[in-house]
Every structure is written in structure tokens, then in C-alpha cells.
Chains A and B, each alone.
Chain A
Amino acid sequence: MIEIDRLEKSFGTNRVLDGISLTVRQGQVVCVIGPSGSGKSTLLRCVNGLESYEGGEVRVSGRRVDRRSPEIRAIRREVTMVFQRFNLFAHRTALENVTEGPIYAAGESRASAEAHARELLAQVGLTGKEAAYPSQLSGGQQQRVAIARALAMRPKAVLFDEPTSALDPELVGEVLTVMRDLARQGMTMAVVTHEMGFAREVADHVVFMDRGRVVEEGPPAELLTAPREPRTQDFLRRVLRPLE
């Protein structure tokens, strides 16, 4: 579904992605963990074509992702994205946020887009909030609108870029629950996250990244409880037991 092959990306002299390779298969949930600045977000942004890259290749369903090619729009409709800061359209209601893509990117009719959007808002637990503007919603509600917006394109995969990092701690659960349900329905997902509990429970595969490289990867039970690499052990100890 998503193939990342020896991807290289620099911002100026700073090498953010240093020949990284990663595959997300159909129906798989891959969690990417690692310290800030390790290139996790940039990796997802390259898959969506929001960033260009210098070396290697990203392929979605076998097609090369190139943000300057005309094909990029079709690829983006197949693999949509949920952002750390929600990035909702502030001037549109929850319902309009969800219908915007289907109507104006995919050419769906308003009636069918709205019917689908209502279903999706119900699925993320926001029935009754259709007419609310983002400023009238809590962070957790906004992020759930953003998830509905990403699903409205009927994507083959969804990318989550630290979806709970900007939320109050008490609101994290409602977003993770929606994501877990989505995973159980078989959605292909790539999730950059600091929520180790979510990774352990939901992920099929966990990747630990540092300095633009994959340090270690494997099933969550192995990687999160018995990591082999010292760098992974060190990171997990700091995240899981910050006071020690």
C-alpha cells in the first residue's frame, strides 16, 4: 500500500530523513515512535506529498509520490492525513469541514457528501455538532471532526501525525478510541505517536526512529517490552518512567 524506499530529505544542512525504508501493507496499523526531531512527521508529510524529498522514493499503490506531478492529487485522495493541530477550516461548520473534500476535490454531489458526512460524524461521536464551528468545539471534538474529514474521501489509508499531542490529557482518550475503532474496522493506518499504550494495543508493527533512520522495528509486544537496541531502551525508559 505505502512503500518508502531509502528516503532522503534535508532542510538546509540538516538531514532529517537519512535513507529510511518502511512498508505499510493493506489493513496494517504501523505506529512510528521516537524523539522529537527524529523525522517522524516529515516522513508522513513526504507520503502525502506535503514535502518534497531529494533521494529515494515513496510509492502509494505502486505510484511514485511527487508533489509536483499532476498525479499527486489522486494519491492524496487515496491517502489522507490527520494533523497534530487539527487544521480544520475555521470558517466552515463541522459538517462543511467534512464535505469540503468530497465535493471540491472528488466532485461528489452535495447530497451524497452530506449524507456520508453525517454518518462519519456519528461514527466519531459528534451527532448534533454538525452546525458547530471549530471555535465552538473542544480540542478532542475538533480532532474527531478532522478524522471524519480524512475518512470522507473514502481513503485506502490514513496518516496520523501526532493526533493527540496538542490535546488536554483528559481529551486524549476520546480521540484514541475513535482511532482504535477505525483500526478494528480494517483501515490501513500510519500513526506517529507518543501514546505507547495505543501503540501496544492497536499497532501491528512499531517502528522506532531516531535521527532520520529506523533504529529498530517489530511487533509491539517485542519492541515495546523487550527492545534490543540501547537507543530504543533508553527512549522507552524515559517515556514510560520519566521520573527515574
Chain B
Amino acid sequence: MSWAGFLRDGQQFLPILLQGVWVTIAVTLCALALATALGVVWALMRTSGKRWLEWPAMIFTNVIRGIPILVQLFYIYFVLPELGVDLNAFQAGVIGLGIAYSAYMGEVFRAGILAVDSGSIEAAESLGMSRARVLSRVVLPQAVRIVLPPYGNNLIMLLKDSSQASVITVAELSTQARLIASSTFKNQEVWTLAALLYLCLSIPLILLVAWLERRFGRR
């Protein structure tokens, strides 16, 4: 593989790969939104102190954590239509990854909530704040600071795991790369480019998480 040849191939492949990059970004962001929202729900249910809320959340998150993402994606894309739920590949990918990661996010959030100093929660209660206010003014702001590093870590893993959506034909970066590689047989060039593009996506995220840690971790 010469440099000149690599650059020439690169020029030719890059536009197709970039289409995949946009899909990867879209899948990651949509799945992140779903995983975060659901994760907060699981975490609040599991720290509610009410058994009828704790149990369903615990069972759900553990079942999800115990099944490979690949199998979950197949299930949503191929089995749900038999039950009358029709989803396109993108929707199925987002829902599959979002639900899978909601279990991991939920655990991260739960740990964050439990790590908040219980004394500050009592102090807020002793001032006569409502439960919702104690949560929004005292628990969550402190939990966010604790949770940011593991949350960022999960986000980077989610970005990379979005490549698993290729098994259900989502046209993200790794799908596009495989498409080109199998038609041109230029495996080295294609997969080197794909790896570089993934790094271009994940390194800014790594830097962002490090910055957030410094920004919020100060106190």
C-alpha cells in the first residue's frame, strides 16, 4: 500500500464512508437520548424505596444486561414484526441500542444517586422542601457530577457499539466499510480509513468527558 495509492483510494471511498459516519452519529445520539431518559427512570425506580417500583426495574435491567446487544437487535428487527410491530432498520437500531444502554446508564445513575451525601438530602428535607425539589435541587445536581465520568465512558462505548447495528442493515460506518471492502477487496485501505474515522469521532468525546470532569469535578 503506497501513500499515493492510499490517498487516491481514500478520495474515492471517503464520500461513501462519510455517509456512514452521519448515520453512526445519528444512531449514537438518538440511542443516547433514549438510554439516558430510560436510564434515569430505572435509577429513580430502583432508589425509590418502594418495592413495587424497585423490582420491575431491577428485573428489566438485569435481563437486558444479560443478553448480548446483537441478539437484542435481531429480536427487535426480526421478531417484533411477527408480533405486529414494524420498524425500519434505523428505528430498530436506535431502540435496541437505546434499551441495551439504558440498563448500563441506569446502573451508573443509581450509583451516582446513592453516592450523594445523605446529610445534604436530610438538610433539604428539614427545610421543608418537597420531594421533587429535593430531587431536582439537591440529589440530581450532585449526582450528575459523580456520574459524568462513567457516563462519558458509556457514551464512547455506545458510539463503538453502534457498529453492531450493521447486522440489521443499518447503513452506518462499518456497514459502508464492509460494502466497499467486499466489492473492491481493498481491505487494508478501507478498514484503516474506517478505524481512523471512528477515532475522529471518539477522541473529541474523550476530550469532552475529560473537560467536563475538570469543569464539574472541582468541588
Contact = CB atoms under 8 A, between A and B. Distances in A.
Interface of A: 48, 50, 72-77, 80-81, 83, 85-91, 100-101, 104-106, 133, 135, 146, 149-150, 153
Contact of B129 (A48, A83, A104): A104
A48 B126 CA distance: 6
Given A90-B142, A91-B141, A85 B119 contact: yes
B130 interface: yes
Main secondary structure of the interface of B (DSSP, over half): helix
A74 B128 CA distance: 6
B25 interface: no
Contacts, number: 69
A106 B128 contact: yes
Given A73-B128, A77-B128, A91-B142, 19 more contacts: A50-B126, A73-B130, A76-B125, A76-B126, A76-B127, A80-B127, A81-B123, A83-B122, A83-B126, A87-B122, A89-B123, A89-B138, A90-B120, A100-B124, A101-B128, A101-B129, A104-B133, A104-B137, A149-B123
Nearest to B119: A87
Interface string B112-140: 00000101101111111110010001100
A105 B127 contact: yes
A77 to B, nearest CB: 4
Given A73-B128, A101-B128, A105-B128, A88 B123 contact: yes
Contact of A83 (B123, B137, B138): B123
B69 to A, nearest CB: 35
B133 A89 contact: no
A100 B129 CA distance: 9
A81 B126 contact: yes
Interface in B70-125: 117, 119-120, 122-125
Nearest to A89: B120
A91 to B, nearest CB: 5
Contact of A87 (B123, B129, B130, B141): B123
Nearest to A48: B126
Nearest to B144: A91
B178 interface: no
Contacts of B119: 83, 85-87
